[in-house]
Chain A
């Protein structure tokens, strides 16, 4: 029915999905990309990408060279961290990272020594080297998607002919207002980008490459067009409408293919890369450079908005200083654009691989939102949503914690672009509700998985205890049967010996009892003998546990302490008499507990006395 409606609707009536906010891009494109002076220190978070934390290879105090590998990728979905300049490792500790939570994470702090000395770099002739070697080199290159998603690039490039990639789409849209880093990169380094595109196309085995660029970047488009002469790469201009830069939206705009929600783009024959990422590819293969810097737009309430080439780990304060300083009425900084960015907890955060733009915010730039009114179900959000969701329904569900319904209404297809909030007449922070709902659903799913696992473990444990009980009962039964047979034999032997003496029940019973006891003790003695023999044999053949040899005096001391404690508690020398009467054992343990508690209380008292002394 929708299709019929859409067919009859003339173009001008078809609702364009998305919005066109004021661009504010001209402010930061007046000056060329500037190089930043070397900052005082570089703070490199280990987690600058999607995937596992890399494994740290360096230690505090070590001197490293520019481009040296500081942390190597852990498993496949991970990326490396390199030293952006030469210097000394000051610390490996938790620092505040640029993350919406404002929580700290592990970072390597590097103090530059000013020499900016490169380590040994190896370039690769990508046209002639085997693809596996190229991918292997990328694994430790630290290159991740520089469009903001920070997905490790080597994973996206290792199609190795399994997936049939027809089209490589290069994302040069940069649809969010204020951000101009890709624009300036294209204006100044079009050649490098084009070479990067060729590398990516070669690695993917793609048939053709298309660059998707918005129509508000005419200078950049001209530069790219000039660099493309004679190459089989085409440019498609898309209308300037936010969010045309979203990967799936751009693919749809450029090639008409709509990627199904449960498939990856590669399964439909398309792969997308940001312009900055392909340029990093070029620099890596041509010069051997790992990922150590990127272009960042500094704009908003600063004296001189412009783009900078920034080393990863540069503190934000260095950037704002270089941009002429933030004006006095700056209230806070935003990382990213005004539609999808987030507040930075403090200006003391480092620049990471995900930082494409820093906006200094002030009340006149971003006025405080008016108080939210109730939702009037006008459905403007639904008309504007690029994913064709129903944000007002998702809002009702998220508000009332009806997360399963929100999931049914395709909450996880939301790309959090912010268009719905942009058009809402009631100023409801819709995207905030969706973010909240999504994290609650993800946490609940994780908790359910953990609960299912706990249930399995509990059931297995109960089953195991049952099984052990049954085995023990069986053993008892067998032993009883066995001793009964022996006792019967002994009794019959006695009988024979006694020569039909008048036997009563009691003597036979006592006889069997004694016989049983004797048999039991004999079995125990036999078991002990067996164990001793086995140990002796092991010692003789050298199969004794090898880790008792004193390797480390500290470990030796610990073992001695533990042995001493065990002795105290009465569990020493359990080789002998493991079957002491239960009551005795309980008493011993109780005594041990008392002793240990007393010892602990003494220690506590001593500590407290010490504290008091210190206080005085």
Chain B
């Protein structure tokens, strides 16, 4: 009987997931600062649902519950989904989305390590297609909102969908920059006119730039800790910028600048946290580059020509489908072989 190697020095799965959560913390703080503390409620709700759903499914599948819950992978899915949803989404939206992500996109495929699709993106896509109006009703950044809601008001709204003192819903929501851009481009306005709207900051959304910057910090921390490699974020951001640049140079009045695309929507969240999901992504270095580039290009195309304001979720899901093919054709050279 032989169990070599007898020694091991690897971070456990829980440690890896914990570091991912840590890297998300700056982003969450920035988000709460810009859009109010409701996001914390959303995250808490999503986390609880995710853990409960995972425990229930593990029990049904007769698997040991504690080790799988302790590996925190469900928590990461929950946080990513919560950050992708609108800040004042109703509680049932969060619960449905998380349930779909954990139960159907993860556990029913076999649990951790067996899901071919990114669970958070599956949850988001399902919600986006099923409840399009709610999903596009983003709350305005606090600096722009005509009325500011306190944390308790937001909490109340999430659970009861009722605003205090006859504040109208329109007063606290606004379209996202991407959404605004899409609708007003259809109205044949030019970019110079569109970018005058208050929602636009220097490059992207007002306040969105701060959140984006916080995500970038978290992402760099992950790269330094060797939790993720440089291939995926660089390829995604590079491809997205490149294709945006091409279109922008061709027609600056009709296509937004690359910097706008980088700082709006879920671009940086995607670059560092979503496409780096190891289970649904490719495993070879070249494969990672192709995968991330594909996500970048598809994101841009869906944003510009597709039916939805942000294309990240669908781009990721489409590329998840291509991962086995990408992996099979990008196998690196083995030592001692020609190629």
Q: Mark A247-263, 1 if CB is under 8 A from B, else 0.
A: 01000100000111100
Residues of A with C-beta under 8 A to B4: 334, 336, 338-342, 418, 431
Residues of B with C-beta under 8 A to A369: 3, 8
Bound-state CA distance A590–B6 (Å) is 66
Query: Taking the nearest CB of chain B, how far is it from the CB of A442, in angstroms?
Result: 17
Bound-state CA distance A483–B257 (Å) is 110
Flag if B7 contacts A410 (CB, 8 Å). Answer: no
The answer to whether the Cβ of A163 comes within 8 Å of any Cβ in the partner chain is no
Flag if A377 contacts B113 (CB, 8 Å). Answer: yes
Bound-state CA distance A339–B8 (Å) is 9
Bound-state CA distance A261–B334 (Å) is 9
Residues of A with C-beta under 8 A to B110: 374
The answer to whether the Cβ of B114 comes within 8 Å of any Cβ in the partner chain is yes
Q: Which residue of B lies closest to A416 (CB)?
A: B4
Flag if A429 contacts B3 (CB, 8 Å). Answer: yes
Flag if A258 contacts B336 (CB, 8 Å). Answer: yes
Query: Taking the nearest CB of chain A, how far is it from the CB of B333, in angstroms?
Result: 6
Flag if B67 contacts A373 (CB, 8 Å). Answer: yes
The answer to whether the Cβ of A423 comes within 8 Å of any Cβ in the partner chain is yes
Bound-state CA distance A429–B10 (Å) is 13
Interfacial residues of chain A within 12-61, with CB under 8 A of chain B in the complex:
13, 19, 21-22
Flag if B6 contacts A366 (CB, 8 Å). Answer: yes
Residues of A with C-beta under 8 A to B68: 373
Flag if A260 contacts B5 (CB, 8 Å). Answer: no
Bound-state CA distance A373–B3 (Å) is 17
Bound-state CA distance A82–B68 (Å) is 56
Q: Mark B204-235, 1 if CB is under 8 A from A, else 0.
A: 00000000000000000000000000100000
Query: Taking the nearest CB of chain B, how far is it from the CB of A368, in angstroms?
Result: 9
Residues of B with C-beta under 8 A to A201: none
Q: Which residue of B lies closest to A372 (CB)?
A: B67
Flag if A376 contacts B3 (CB, 8 Å). Answer: no
Q: Mark A99-142, 1 if CB is under 8 A from B, else 0.
A: 01010000000000000000000000000000000000000000
Flag if A248 contacts B10 (CB, 8 Å). Answer: no
Bound-state CA distance A55–B67 (Å) is 55
Q: Mark A401-440, 1 if CB is under 8 A from B, else 0.
A: 0000000011001000010011111110101100100000
The answer to whether the Cβ of A379 comes within 8 Å of any Cβ in the partner chain is yes
Given the known interface contacts A379-B278, A425-B16, A429-B3, the answer about A260 and B9 at a Cβ–Cβ threshold of 8 Å is no
Flag if B285 contacts A377 (CB, 8 Å). Answer: no
Flag if B111 contacts A422 (CB, 8 Å). Answer: no
The answer to whether the Cβ of B186 comes within 8 Å of any Cβ in the partner chain is no
Bound-state CA distance A237–B239 (Å) is 43
Flag if A366 contacts B283 (CB, 8 Å). Answer: no
Flag if A373 contacts B335 (CB, 8 Å). Answer: no
Query: Taking the nearest CB of chain B, how far is it from the CB of A432, in angstroms?
Result: 7
Q: Which residue of B lies closest to A389 (CB)?
A: B334
Q: A72-80, A380-388, A453-461: which lies at the B interface?
A: A380-388
Picked from A177, A343, A382, A426, the residue with its CB within 8 Å of the CB of B284 is A382
Q: Which residue of B lies closest to A242 (CB)?
A: B5
Query: Taking the nearest CB of chain B, how far is it from the CB of A501, in angstroms?
Result: 95
Bound-state CA distance A422–B8 (Å) is 4
The answer to whether the Cβ of B286 comes within 8 Å of any Cβ in the partner chain is yes
The answer to whether the Cβ of B202 comes within 8 Å of any Cβ in the partner chain is no
Picked from B12, B15, B71, B283, the residue with its CB within 8 Å of the CB of A379 is B283
Flag if B331 contacts A390 (CB, 8 Å). Answer: yes
Flag if B10 contacts A376 (CB, 8 Å). Answer: no
Flag if A373 contacts B9 (CB, 8 Å). Answer: no
Flag if A423 contacts B335 (CB, 8 Å). Answer: no
Residues of B with C-beta under 8 A to A19: 9
Given the known interface contacts A371-B67, A382-B284, the answer about A366 and B7 at a Cβ–Cβ threshold of 8 Å is yes
The answer to whether the Cβ of B2 comes within 8 Å of any Cβ in the partner chain is yes
Flag if A261 contacts B332 (CB, 8 Å). Answer: no
Among the interface residues A252, A374, A375, A386, which one has the most CB atoms of the partner chain B within 10 A? A374
Picked from A1, A342, A366, A389, the residue with its CB within 8 Å of the CB of B286 is A1
The answer to whether the Cβ of A507 comes within 8 Å of any Cβ in the partner chain is no
Flag if B16 contacts A390 (CB, 8 Å). Answer: no
Bound-state CA distance A366–B12 (Å) is 17
Q: Which residue of B lies closest to A369 (CB)?
A: B8
Bound-state CA distance A562–B6 (Å) is 61
Flag if B5 contacts A425 (CB, 8 Å). Answer: no
Residues of B with C-beta under 8 A to A259: 336
The answer to whether the Cβ of A378 comes within 8 Å of any Cβ in the partner chain is yes
Residues of A with C-beta under 8 A to B1: 100, 102, 343, 345
Flag if A5 contacts B285 (CB, 8 Å). Answer: yes
The answer to whether the Cβ of B164 comes within 8 Å of any Cβ in the partner chain is no
Residues of B with C-beta under 8 A to A371: 64, 67
Query: Taking the nearest CB of chain A, how far is it from the CB of B270, in angstroms?
Result: 19
Residues of B with C-beta under 8 A to A373: 13, 67-68, 71, 112-113
The answer to whether the Cβ of B198 comes within 8 Å of any Cβ in the partner chain is no
Given the known interface contacts A258-B335, A369-B3, A422-B10, the answer about A376 and B279 at a Cβ–Cβ threshold of 8 Å is yes
Flag if B335 contacts A386 (CB, 8 Å). Answer: yes
Flag if B331 contacts A409 (CB, 8 Å). Answer: yes
Mostly, the B contact residues are loop
The answer to whether the Cβ of B307 comes within 8 Å of any Cβ in the partner chain is no
Given the known interface contacts A248-B335, A422-B10, the answer about A390 and B283 at a Cβ–Cβ threshold of 8 Å is yes
The answer to whether the Cβ of A370 comes within 8 Å of any Cβ in the partner chain is yes
Residues of B with C-beta under 8 A to A102: 1
Bound-state CA distance A387–B332 (Å) is 11
Given the known interface contacts A366-B6, A431-B5, the answer about A375 and B113 at a Cβ–Cβ threshold of 8 Å is yes
Q: Which residue of A lies closest to B2 (CB)?
A: A342
Flag if B10 contacts A432 (CB, 8 Å). Answer: no
Residues of B with C-beta under 8 A to A5: 285-286
Flag if B2 contacts A100 (CB, 8 Å). Answer: yes
Q: Which residue of A lies closest to B112 (CB)?
A: A374
Bound-state CA distance A602–B268 (Å) is 91
Picked from B8, B13, B112, B337, the residue with its CB within 8 Å of the CB of A421 is B8
Flag if A374 contacts B5 (CB, 8 Å). Answer: no
The answer to whether the Cβ of A240 comes within 8 Å of any Cβ in the partner chain is no
Flag if A334 contacts B6 (CB, 8 Å). Answer: yes
Flag if B230 contacts A13 (CB, 8 Å). Answer: yes
Interfacial residues of chain A within 220-273, with CB under 8 A of chain B in the complex:
248, 252, 258-261
Bound-state CA distance A424–B284 (Å) is 16
The answer to whether the Cβ of A361 comes within 8 Å of any Cβ in the partner chain is yes
The answer to whether the Cβ of A274 comes within 8 Å of any Cβ in the partner chain is no
Residues of B with C-beta under 8 A to A503: none
Bound-state CA distance A422–B9 (Å) is 6
Flag if A2 contacts B332 (CB, 8 Å). Answer: yes
Flag if A377 contacts B283 (CB, 8 Å). Answer: yes
Flag if B112 contacts A425 (CB, 8 Å). Answer: no
Flag if A261 contacts B337 (CB, 8 Å). Answer: yes
Flag if B279 contacts A388 (CB, 8 Å). Answer: no
Flag if B5 contacts A340 (CB, 8 Å). Answer: yes
Bound-state CA distance A336–B2 (Å) is 11
Residues of A with C-beta under 8 A to B16: 378, 425
Among the interface residues B9, B64, B333, B336, which one has the most CB atoms of the partner chain A within 10 A? B336
Interfacial residues of chain B within 236-289, with CB under 8 A of chain A in the complex:
278-279, 281, 283-286
The answer to whether the Cβ of A320 comes within 8 Å of any Cβ in the partner chain is no
Bound-state CA distance A435–B281 (Å) is 27
Bound-state CA distance A260–B281 (Å) is 31
Picked from B2, B10, B327, the residue with its CB within 8 Å of the CB of A423 is B10
Bound-state CA distance A376–B76 (Å) is 14
Residues of A with C-beta under 8 A to B333: 2, 388
Q: Which residue of B lies closest to A252 (CB)?
A: B335
Cβ contacts A to B, 14 pairs, < 8 Å: A22-B7, A252-B335, A260-B338, A338-B5, A338-B7, A341-B6, A369-B3, A373-B112, A376-B73, A379-B278, A388-B332, A422-B7, A422-B10, A425-B13
Beyond contacts A376-B112, A413-B334, A425-B13: 11 other A-B pairs, Cβ-Cβ < 8 A, are A2-B332, A13-B230, A22-B7, A177-B7, A340-B4, A373-B113, A374-B111, A382-B284, A413-B335, A425-B12, A431-B4
Chain B interface (Cβ < 8 Å from any Cβ of A): 1-13, 15-16, 64, 67-68, 71, 73, 110-114, 230, 278-279, 281, 283-286, 327, 331-338
The 7 closest A-B pairs by CB, nearest first: A374-B113, A418-B5, A261-B336, A342-B2, A379-B283, A366-B6, A378-B278
